[in-house]
Amino acid sequence: MSKVAIYGAGGGVGAQVARELARADDVTTLYLYDINADALQAEAMDAVNVAEKYRGGSLEVVTQVLDMKNEDAVAQSIAAAKADVLIQAAIPFSWYRISRTLPPDVWKNVFMEGRLGPWLPLFTLLPVKLMRGRRMAGVTTPVVQISLPDCVNPLLSGMGMEPTCGAGNTDSVTAVLKARAARKLGVPLRDLTVRMVAHHFHSGFMRSPAKNDELQTYPWWFKVYAAGVDVTDQFTSDEFLTEWRAHFPLQRPLYAASSAAKNTLRILRDDPTITHVVAPGGLAGGVDCRLTSAGAVPVWHPEMPEAKAMELLRKAGEGDGIAGYDADGSARITERAHAALVKYMNYDCPVLRPAEVEERAEELVAKLNEAARVAA
């Protein structure tokens, strides 16, 4: 008998999370919040329909139009709902929308040279509002934060308000590896175990034009076990990596949403089994964890202890345009990424400081809108 609140429920990922959780008997009430009233009502009806077909209508869906920039309103919604888990899926300007807004030549250069780091304000703004709202409400409800969690959650951690975990990204990388490995070995998925340490950069790498050898600069780590036997060596070839990349989903909300639903249900069920979790406790990347209502506890492999994993993730984060984080959460943008945004967008922000997130987000939106007007 659990209640879950989804912020950004009218968007592609948030709506899909609602549909996924509508199937689960664990969830008896869904609170759905979005600034778009029409989208919110449509997605609420979808959730009700899913619940009716899968579980006989035993789900209550409550909606509220909410501007997440209003921290007082966010705090009031959290206090009123008393949900068992909060899911943050709201983004004011998504990565996919950026790709459709910029002229193709500018987008190509921004994507390959600037990566994600310079755009961090757009992905951080609403997560900051939610976490501040939670603090104002005086609760410590677990939070699954979906907006670029590998990069956003460490910043939130520096601000003293890290979410429980993120979702998507490397969780999907792990799932596709397991599926392709099972196919190659001719064994059931249940016989395989995958362990992985990887960063959001790697999920972007999977369907990007980057060459396979980019992993030498921005590494990941994984192990594959079949019935307890280490068979990793069968999956380290360039040929297998090319196949693995070809099967990775591109711009499919279901994959991030199913990851968020999985993490939510593990928290609700206090499920202690090991699973891959993105950005647990504000960590900058995805690692294997036990995820319960008490929080996320990383489970380190003997070949990849914590210190080694942290250094790997720091290096991989540079591939996303982030050089690292200061103690206060300030995100340092790599020189290459910073130079690209100065060159192509006239946007100059070598360090994103928490106090500047909202101002920088507004600046980026203005520059994107201007680019769209020029292109038109």
Alpha-carbon gap, residue 296 to 276, rounded angstroms: 10
Mean of the per-residue pLDDT values for the chain? 96
Place of tokens 């990347």: 285
The model's pTM: 0.96
SS3 of residue 297 by DSSP: strand
Return the amino acid letter for 237.
S
* Backbone φ and ψ of 261, nearest 5°: -65, -45
Convert the pLDDT of each residue in 320-331 to its tens digit. Answer: 999 999 999 999
Cα 41 to Cα 44, 64, 318: the distances in Å are: 5, 9, 40
pLDDT tier at 42, thresholds 50, 70, 90 = very high
Residues 6+ apart with CB under 8 A from 105: none
Alpha-carbon gap, residue 156 to 162, rounded angstroms: 5
Alpha-carbon gap, residue 69 to 108, rounded angstroms: 31
Convert the pLDDT of each residue in 357-373 to its tens digit. Answer: 999 999 999 999 988 88
Alpha-carbon gap, residue 246 to 183, rounded angstroms: 14
Cα within 13 Å of Cα(172), Cβ side? 28
Given a cut of 80, is residue 57 above it in pLDDT?
no
Given a cut of 90, is residue 1 above it in pLDDT?
no
Convert the pLDDT of each residue in 213-270 to its tens digit. Answer: 999 999 999 999 999 999 999 999 999 999 999 999 877 788 999 999 999 999 999 9
- Helix 12-22 vs helix 37-55: angle between axes, to the nearest 10 degrees? 20
Closest CA to 184 of 145, 115, 233, 135: 233
The gap from C-alpha 285 to its chain's centroid, in whole angstroms, comes to: 10
Alpha-carbon gap, residue 37 to 349, rounded angstroms: 34
Closest CA to 3 of 89, 90, 57, 81: 81
- Percent of the chain at pLDDT > 90 equals 89
CB atoms closer than 10 angstroms to residue 270? 11
**DSSP character string of 41-89:** HHHHHHHHHHHHHHHTT--EEEEEE--TT-HHHHHHHHHHH--SEEEE-
Alpha-carbon gap, residue 336 to 347, rounded angstroms: 13
Bridging pattern class, strands 85-88 and 2-7: parallel
pLDDT of residue 372: 81
- CA torsion 156-84-129-320 (nearest 10°) is 40
Bridging pattern class, strands 229-230 and 221-226: antiparallel
* Backbone φ and ψ of 25, nearest 5°: -65, -25
Intra-chain end-to-end CA distance of the chain, in Å: 51
Given a cut of 80, is residue 130 above it in pLDDT?
yes
The gap from C-alpha 102 to its chain's centroid, in whole angstroms, comes to: 23
Structure-block tokens of residue 141: 């409800």
Return the amino acid letter for 121.
P
**DSSP character string of 262-288:** HHHHHHHHT--SEEEEESGGG-SSEEE
Element (H, E) at 238: helix 238-246
Asked whether 154 and 314 are in contact (CB, 8 A), the reply is: no
Alpha-carbon gap, residue 162 to 264, rounded angstroms: 16
Convert the pLDDT of each residue in 68-97 to its tens digit. Answer: 999 999 999 999 999 999 999 999 988 888
